[in-house]
């Protein structure tokens, strides 16, 4: 299996090598420098990640990297404008509620869901999710299991008192899930589960049952 350091060394031999690389690792910066043969300026982001450290790492790019990023962002915006002009108006069937308290997970999941053409609303705990669902019109809810105030299990139990499976699909969001946990989630009214970390293919696979992706 190729490690992250192996990948960095291999990618620098390719013509499409990126201008900048950020290493995300639980190992120290000194350890990585010692074990890597790559002679370049590598930026380091320590685990566990925090929103502040993530933002700082992105803001530390060189002026050249910022200029490249601006060009890419401009082209992306132009592409999105064209796509928006050809996209059908968003309807309630294209909306999804993400119930997730972790800020970084919110950003990652939102970007992936938006890339599938979905309009994403966010709730940060079970209580907020219930209030948001009562006010909105949602077909599917992605429900994190472990959250403060009210966790995903209790929120699901409360929601199933007022919403049938036909009215509302609830997908569990969790890591390291066991068969016993899956069975329990189905028992309390959940319709499926999506493992963490979030991956676009897995996300599309489970949601394609409820949305028509092109």
Tell me the per-residue pLDDT of 142-186, one tens digit each, with 9 for 90 and over. Answer: 999 999 999 999 999 999 999 999 999 999 999 878 889 999 999
Is residue 70 included in any domain, yes or no? Answer: no
Same domain, yes or no, for 21 and 108? Answer: no
Distance of CA 172 to the CA centre of its chain: 14
Q: By residue range, what is the domain housing residue 45?
A: 4-63
59 and 98 in a single domain? The answer is no
In this structure, are 100 and 175 located in the same domain? yes
How far apart (Å, rounded) are the C-alpha atoms in residues 52 and 57? 9
Do 192 and 155 share a structural domain? yes
As a whole number, mean pLDDT of residues 185-200 equals 93
CATH value at residue 124:
3.40.50.2300
Residues 57 and 114 in one domain: no
pLDDT-wise least confident of 19-23, 39-43, 186-190:
39-43
Backbone angles phi, psi at 43, to 5 degrees: -90, 150
Q: Region 120-125: what's the mean pLDDT?
A: 96
**CB of 53 closer than 8 Å to CB of 46:** yes
- Look at the block and give the residue holding tokens 């002679």: 39
Question: Cα(89)–Cα(106) distance, rounded to whole angstroms?
Answer: 24
The domain total for the chain is 2
Task: Summarize the confidence of residues 128-144 as an average pLDDT.
Answer: 95
């Amino acid at each position: 299996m190729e490690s992250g350091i192996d990948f960095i060394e291999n990618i620098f031999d390719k013509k499409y090598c990126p201008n900048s690389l950020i290493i995300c690792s639980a190992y120290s910066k000194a350890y990585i420098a010692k074990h890597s043969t790559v002679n370049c300026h590598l930026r380091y982001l320590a685990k566990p990640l925090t929103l502040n450290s993530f933002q700082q790492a992105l803001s530390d790019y060189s002026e050249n990297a910022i200029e490249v990023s601006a060009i890419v962002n401009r082209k992306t915006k132009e592409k999105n404008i064209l796509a928006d002009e050809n996209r059908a108006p968003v309807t309630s069937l294209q909306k999804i509620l993400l119930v997730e308290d972790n800020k970084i997970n919110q950003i990652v999941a939102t970007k992936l869901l938006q890339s599938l053409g979905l309009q994403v609303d966010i709730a940060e705990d079970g209580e907020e999710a219930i209030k948001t669902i009562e006010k909105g019109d949602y077909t599917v809810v992605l429900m994190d299991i472990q959250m403060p105030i009210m966790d995903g299990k209790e929120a699901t139990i409360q929601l199933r008192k007022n919403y049938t499976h036909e009215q509302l699909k609830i997908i569990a969001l969790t890591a390291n899930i066991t068969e016993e946990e899956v069975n329990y989630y189905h028992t309390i009214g959940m319709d499926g589960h999506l493992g963490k970390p979030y991956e676009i293919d897995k996300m599309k696979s489970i949601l394609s049952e409820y949305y028509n992706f092109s």
